[in-house]
Amino acid sequence: MRRAIGLLAAVLFACAAAGAHAATFDWQRYKGHTIHFLNENNPWANELRRELPAFTKLTGINVEVLTFEEQQMRQRLVTILQSHDAGVDEYMSLSSLEGPLFAHAGWYADLGPIMDAPGATMPGYDVKDFSPPLRKAVTFGGKLESIPVNIEGPLIYYRKDIFARCGVALPKTLAELQAAAAKIHKCDPTIIPWVTRGLAPALPYTFSNVLHNFGADYFSGPRRPDLCAPKATAAIAWYADMLRDYGPPGAVNDSFVQIADLYGAGRAAMAFESSNEFGPIMKFPGRAKDTGLMLLPPGPGGQKPTVIGWGLAMSAFSQAKPETWYFMQWATSKAMQTKLALRGIAPPRRSVAASPAYRAWLAQDPVRAQWAKLIDVMASTGTGEVGPPVRRQAQARQIVGEAVDKVLLGQAKPQAAACSADKQLATMLATP
């Protein structure tokens, strides 16, 4: 009870602080204006959309929301930005994927001059409060191109009860992980031992962690694809074998939505998926009590987790930049990020991560504390390489995903698929 009261007091204090700032900041400056927000079906966006009526009440600004699944959102966004269409003012952006391309094309608005304009930014916003690595990831050519909204990376959600019932020890290596999946399959054929991404464009997010743990990299040098190397080929074989032998039917169609649902509904023993899905998964009955969490175990190359973060970006072609910045700073404020952190969105602000409210929330449930600890490890030891180091990330990731899927479907041997992918990447690099 005392902990709950303390948590409530901390949240009320954050809201009171936001209210004090509001007293010296004209939130109604753009009352009656409308902005357009393009986002994806993502835990952060889903939670933020619940708060939009409060923003409109605070500012008088109406927010027109366009929501799509990730691949559809990205396709629509590129079409809009290529045509310099002002129909979207702000959008979710993954700097590790489209950042270099969008920055080179001039599709991001430079946020520095916008936030520094007189009266544009509320007191106490403090952009330096965001984790330095995350700020670096969204800065291109010295320009801040988006605002971090979360920090995440793939981890393994596992059913403690199934592991105990089947006598499976927590795996300490990739080889032991494969053996654990085999033992679970033999123990209970009604349970899917392993689920992870198989959809080609989404697959590199989880595959990259496997690749690095095998001691491999996408490139051996500038403009030198290296998937055909033995370590990378072994990573492809391991990933494909796990999904083919122990994954669900139709795994090549699965991304984070399907994986979270499969595990959340109790149909899978292990799910290798984003830490960002923690909140949605914990909402399923029973998962908060029977779930354990771990990083992908080390492979021949050690343990190198993946860590990335989404950002909220403004279109360079927006005709409503000042009012759009009002929304962006509200959505990424300390008060809002504290509120979302208490729903399982890992906060990119250092002050929120260290806040009494967030720490009290973590302490209420062991699995929450475990989740936060693993995110800290990702942040300190992880790599942001989630695909070949090229500007045309979307195309490169599709090539990688298709190579793994060909092995999964039995259409090619690992080495043949890997060498073919290298040739496709080399051709892409040679094409203007």
Per-residue pLDDT, averaged over 136-165, amounts to 96
For the chain, domain boundaries: 2-151+308-374, 154-307+376-430
CATH topology of domain 2-151+308-374: D-Maltodextrin-Binding Protein; domain 2 (3.40.190)
Residue 156's pLDDT is: 98
Reported as a single tens digit per residue, the pLDDT across 236-270 is: 999 999 999 999 999 999 999 999 999 999 999 99
pLDDT at 3 over 70: no
pLDDT at 1 over 60: no
Reported as a single tens digit per residue, the pLDDT across 29-38 is: 999 999 999 9
pLDDT at 12 over 50: no
Reported as a single tens digit per residue, the pLDDT across 293-345 is: 999 999 999 999 999 999 999 999 999 999 999 999 999 999 999 999 999 99
d(CA 362, CA 373): 10
Q: Does domain 154-307+376-430 have CATH number 3.40.190.10?
A: yes
Whether the Cβ atoms of residue 347 and residue 248 lie closer than 8 Å to each other: no
Per-residue pLDDT, averaged over 209-213, amounts to 98
Whether the Cβ atoms of residue 382 and residue 153 lie closer than 8 Å to each other: yes
Residue 7's pLDDT is: 44
Residue 263 phi/psi, 5° resolution?
Answer: -70, -45
Residue 17's pLDDT is: 41
Tokens of 86: 């002002």
Long-range contacts (CB closer than 8 Å, 24 or more residues apart) made by 75-80: 76/38, 77/38, 80/38, 80/315
d(CA 76, CA 38): 9
Q: Where are the alpha helices (DSSP H) in 342-392?
A: 350-353, 356-363, 366-381
Residue 291's pLDDT is: 98
Q: Fold identical between 2-151+308-374 and 154-307+376-430? A: yes
pLDDT at 68 over 70: yes
* Residue 67 CB partners (closer than 8 Å, separation 6+): 39, 40, 41, 45, 49, 73
